[in-house]
Homo-oligomer: A and B are copies of this chain.
Amino acid sequence: LVKREIVRIVTPGTLTDEALLDPRASNHLAAVVEVKGKLGLAWVELSTARFTLTSTHRLEIQDEIARLAPAELLIAETAVDAPWVRALRAAAPGMTITPRPSWDFLADQARQLLCEQFRVSTLSGFGVNDDAIEIQAAGALLAYLRETQKSALLHLRRLHVHRREEVLGLDETTRRGLELTRTLREGKRDGSLLHAIDLTVTPMGARLLAEWLNAPLTNLDALRRRHDAVGDLVEDAALREELRRGLATIQDLERLAGRMGTGRATPRDLVGLARSLAALPTLKARLTARRSAALRQLEAQLDLCPEIRQAIDETMVDDPPLALKEGGLIRDGFHPLLDELRDIASGGKSWIARFQAEQIRRTGIPSLKVGFNKVFGYYIEVTHQHQSKVPPDFIRKQTVKNAERYITAELKEYEDRVLRAEDQARELEYELFIQLRDRVAAEAPRLVQVGEALAQLDVLAALAELAARRGYRRPELVSEPILKIVAGRHPVLDILMPEGRFIPNDLDLGGDSGTILLLTGPNMAGKSTYIRQAAVLCILAQMGSFLPVKSATIGLVDRIFARVGASDELGRGQSTFMVEMTETANILHNATARSLVILDEIGRGTSTFDGVSLAWAIAEYLHDVIGCRALFATHYHELVDLETVKPGLRNANVSVLEQNGEIVFLHRIVPGGADQSYGIHVARLAGVPNPVLERAKAILAQLEAQHRRMGESAAHSH
């Protein structure tokens, strides 16, 4: 009987097999613990060894979980029915929730387990207090990993602390509305911002790019480092080209290291690792003495791991088989005993030839042959015709058509020796392979670090490549709340639309230009695209990318709130307007003077009068109380009057052209309120009877006159 042991337990959050994972997406296992309304959160990407923790509040945990979209979430079994758990279920619909024993989450136990794993006596070195609530989540996570992985988790050697204040805040509605990583309608990567900007050449880079996009920075210095590096790589096309060519030959070092660390690397993984390491010296050499600090640091971080590479190269054959125990793994000349055993095993052929020749001579049977089959091993075959010449020491074993098969003592003795040598060689090969693997596994943390450096290099080079290909420019980042864009394009439409068809637009917010732009005008003219574009450009700038603009000055944003798109969706039933108002309330409560707010057709879901009233009051509140930068698209023309009374508010509209009896939207944003007669123009072109048109014009004139008065009185009623 074969002894079977449980080697590991596979769960959605602990997959490391290449075949089961999307190389371009992270696979997170997370744990959440709640103590007095505060939440501790820890997550790990087991296949890449990234172990992160943070604390948060009830209101924000949903956005965090939606951002991470973990495959599996651990919670204490006592919390299964808690309201915050229900909310998390809704935030990440595909997520498996795994209840765990409550004691796994106990503070003391968790700290002790973490200290043991990371070989420290206090966790404060990682930047987290020993009594922080997130320690409890991290401890439960590690306990689960140990239980399921049944391995030393050699690659887990560092804790990362996620500081939420260092990250640009993006709630789930905003992420969805701006289509950062998935499209709004079909939920596909294709057509998302991520898809449009992803020119990475390694899976490590692709994952890191998604991470950067999901968590743009708010720190000016960190962003300047990224922009400097991208700038260096934009300018030096030859360098960029070489780096990308080199990176493209490198395997997924992070996930290779993950398989090393959990004891599941294959012979091909090791050879792939050596080949990937072989590409490093050239990369490192090309990175020396760059202007950008980030590139110089990456150069320093690029540990060539020469002894690992050398050990693999010396030990392993160039193209090993998939199987571990069938031999053929270890290079000739690496181990004297292995060479000797192989000699014996492969020496077979010449010995057999000699033996066969000798038997032919002795028996005088010219057709005598020595063969091998799996049942009888080596045998001598003699045709019926020559039966009489068979010597007495031949032992008959098998009759086949036209022939008999024999063995002799000498032949069987030789066979034993050969077979034993083969077995011994296989066993020795396996042993040598495991030795090598263990040795490399011990270096897993170094490999993880190299993988991280390569991922960064790939992302920076990809952003530079994007900038070079599509003519992106470096934004000027400042602390002041301004947002100035000249000839900006929407990065997704810029790619999707035929060359030159997308109309670039300017934007000028902050300082003397006012902080709120009120955009009026007909549907379908590009209002939504324009206001989304502003948000998307801020996100790109704060993730470290250059921008599709002629020039841009971006005052760093702490949070972006976008309420776009959803109001156009049908079939969501009676609660549409309720959803709209709930999201608006969230914005009004949480936006700060450093935030950017994007509102598309607020109030559309209700009737005109109260829609106008709410939109007006909301715009005023943003202007008077919050004072943030905001873009406000509406077809409530009434709101244009706000400009006369609110110094920080500016009107703009989308210019419309009547051409050969057709209405053409120029998709160009110009100052001022929209032309009121647009609708009546179209009605005339459509053949609406003249008396109706004349009457409509008269009413319009009255409306405008009335509203001028109303604007004034509303302004002065404060």
A581→B696 CA distance, assembly (Å): 13
Report whether A686 and B617 are in contact in the complex, using a CB–CB cutoff of 8 Å.
Answer: no
Of A582, A616, A617, A706, most B-chain CB atoms within 10 Å = A617
Q: Which of these, B582, B585, B612, B683, contacts A699 with CB under 8 Å?
A: B612
Q: Which of these, B674, B683, B713, contacts A614 with CB under 8 Å?
A: B683
Stretch with Cβ within 8 A of B (4 or more), from A195-203, A206-214, A603-611:
A603-611
Report whether B588 and A682 are in contact in the complex, using a CB–CB cutoff of 8 Å.
Answer: no
Stretch with Cβ within 8 A of B (4 or more), from A2-10, A300-308, A491-499, A566-574:
A566-574
A703 at the interface (CB under 8 A from B): yes
A523 at the interface (CB under 8 A from B): yes
Q: Which of these, B588, B635, B663, B677, contacts A608 with CB under 8 Å?
A: B635
Report whether A523 and B584 are in contact in the complex, using a CB–CB cutoff of 8 Å.
Answer: no
Decide yes or no: A698 and B717 within 8 Å by CB, A523-B605, A621-B691 being known contacts: yes
A173 at the interface (CB under 8 A from B): no
A375→B682 CA distance, assembly (Å): 83
Report whether A682 and B612 are in contact in the complex, using a CB–CB cutoff of 8 Å.
Answer: no
A87 at the interface (CB under 8 A from B): no
Report whether B581 and A682 are in contact in the complex, using a CB–CB cutoff of 8 Å.
Answer: yes
- CB A4 to nearest CB in B, in angstroms, measures 54
Q: Which residues of B contact A609 (CB under 8 A)?
A: 637-638, 676, 700, 703-704, 707
A693→B568 CA distance, assembly (Å): 24
Report whether A612 and B607 are in contact in the complex, using a CB–CB cutoff of 8 Å.
Answer: no
A620 at the interface (CB under 8 A from B): yes
A697 at the interface (CB under 8 A from B): yes
A710→B585 CA distance, assembly (Å): 33
CB-based nearest B residue for A616: B699
CB-based nearest B residue for A520: B607
Report whether B686 and A581 are in contact in the complex, using a CB–CB cutoff of 8 Å.
Answer: yes
Report whether B606 and A686 are in contact in the complex, using a CB–CB cutoff of 8 Å.
Answer: no
A21 at the interface (CB under 8 A from B): no
Q: Which residues of B contact A576 (CB under 8 A)?
A: 523-524
CB-based nearest B residue for A579: B686
Report whether A606 and B635 are in contact in the complex, using a CB–CB cutoff of 8 Å.
Answer: yes
- CB A652 to nearest CB in B, in angstroms, measures 13
Decide yes or no: A522 and B605 within 8 Å by CB, A617-B695, A693-B617, A697-B613 being known contacts: yes
The size of the chain A interface, using a CB distance under 8 A, is: 75
Report whether B689 and A589 are in contact in the complex, using a CB–CB cutoff of 8 Å.
Answer: yes
Report whether A607 and B635 are in contact in the complex, using a CB–CB cutoff of 8 Å.
Answer: yes
Q: Which residues of B contact A574 (CB under 8 A)?
A: 524-525, 663, 665
Q: Which of these, B521, B617, B685, contacts A607 with CB under 8 Å?
A: B521
A692 at the interface (CB under 8 A from B): yes
- CB A616 to nearest CB in B, in angstroms, measures 5
A691→B718 CA distance, assembly (Å): 12
A688→B621 CA distance, assembly (Å): 11
Report whether A637 and B608 are in contact in the complex, using a CB–CB cutoff of 8 Å.
Answer: yes
A698→B610 CA distance, assembly (Å): 11
Decide yes or no: A573 and B524 within 8 Å by CB, A617-B695, A686-B582 being known contacts: yes
Q: Which A residues, 488 to 540, have Cβ-Cβ distances below 8 Å to chain B? A: 520-525
Q: Which A residues, 612 to 630, have Cβ-Cβ distances below 8 Å to chain B? A: 612-614, 616-618, 620-621, 625
A430 at the interface (CB under 8 A from B): no
CB-based nearest B residue for A585: B687
A679 at the interface (CB under 8 A from B): yes
A665→B605 CA distance, assembly (Å): 14
Report whether A717 and B703 are in contact in the complex, using a CB–CB cutoff of 8 Å.
Answer: no
Of A577, A676, A678, most B-chain CB atoms within 10 Å = A577
A119 at the interface (CB under 8 A from B): no
Q: Which residues of B contact A521 (CB under 8 A)?
A: 607
A337 at the interface (CB under 8 A from B): no
Q: Which residues of B contact A606 (CB under 8 A)?
A: 522-523, 635, 678-679, 682
A146 at the interface (CB under 8 A from B): no
- CB A682 to nearest CB in B, in angstroms, measures 5
Q: Which residues of B contact A589 (CB under 8 A)?
A: 687, 689
Report whether A689 and B612 are in contact in the complex, using a CB–CB cutoff of 8 Å.
Answer: no
Report whether A616 and B696 are in contact in the complex, using a CB–CB cutoff of 8 Å.
Answer: yes
A702 at the interface (CB under 8 A from B): yes
Report whether B520 and A688 are in contact in the complex, using a CB–CB cutoff of 8 Å.
Answer: no
A688→B620 CA distance, assembly (Å): 13
Report whether B709 and A706 are in contact in the complex, using a CB–CB cutoff of 8 Å.
Answer: yes
Report whether A700 and B610 are in contact in the complex, using a CB–CB cutoff of 8 Å.
Answer: yes
Q: Which residues of B contact A607 (CB under 8 A)?
A: 520-522, 635-637, 674, 676, 678-679
Report whether A608 and B608 are in contact in the complex, using a CB–CB cutoff of 8 Å.
Answer: yes
A345→B113 CA distance, assembly (Å): 97
A714 at the interface (CB under 8 A from B): yes
- CB A651 to nearest CB in B, in angstroms, measures 12
Could you mark each residue 580-603 of chain A with 1 if its beta carbon is under 8 Å from any beta carbon of chain B, else 0?
011011101100000000000001
A578 at the interface (CB under 8 A from B): yes
Of A638, A689, A703, A717, most B-chain CB atoms within 10 Å = A703
Decide yes or no: A702 and B692 within 8 Å by CB, A606-B635, A679-B603, A679-B611 being known contacts: no
- CB A372 to nearest CB in B, in angstroms, measures 45
Report whether A679 and B522 are in contact in the complex, using a CB–CB cutoff of 8 Å.
Answer: no
CB-based nearest B residue for A662: B578
A468 at the interface (CB under 8 A from B): no
A132 at the interface (CB under 8 A from B): no
Q: Which of these, B582, B621, B676, contacts A692 with CB under 8 Å?
A: B621
Decide yes or no: A706 and B710 within 8 Å by CB, A689-B621, A692-B588 being known contacts: yes
A613→B637 CA distance, assembly (Å): 12
A80 at the interface (CB under 8 A from B): no
Q: Which residues of B contact A610 (CB under 8 A)?
A: 676-680, 696, 700
Q: Which residues of B contact A702 (CB under 8 A)?
A: 710, 713-714, 717
Report whether A691 and B636 are in contact in the complex, using a CB–CB cutoff of 8 Å.
Answer: no
Decide yes or no: A522 and B577 within 8 Å by CB, A676-B609, A683-B584, A706-B709 being known contacts: yes
List 9 A-B residue pairs with CB atoms under 8 Å apart, sorted by A's residue number. Answer: A584-B686, A584-B688, A608-B636, A609-B637, A609-B703, A609-B704, A617-B699, A620-B695, A621-B692
Closest 7 A/B residue pairs (Cβ): A610-B679, A606-B679, A581-B686, A617-B696, A585-B687, A617-B695, A607-B635
Known pairs A524-B574, A581-B682, A613-B699. 17 more at Cβ < 8 A?
A: A522-B605, A523-B576, A574-B663, A581-B683, A581-B685, A582-B686, A584-B683, A585-B687, A588-B688, A608-B612, A613-B700, A614-B679, A616-B696, A617-B695, A618-B696, A621-B689, A702-B713
Binding site for B on A (CB under 8 A): 520-525, 568, 570, 573-574, 576-578, 581-582, 584-586, 588-589, 603, 605-614, 616-618, 620-621, 625, 635-638, 663, 665, 674, 676-680, 682-683, 685-689, 691-693, 695-700, 702-704, 706-707, 709-710, 713-714, 717
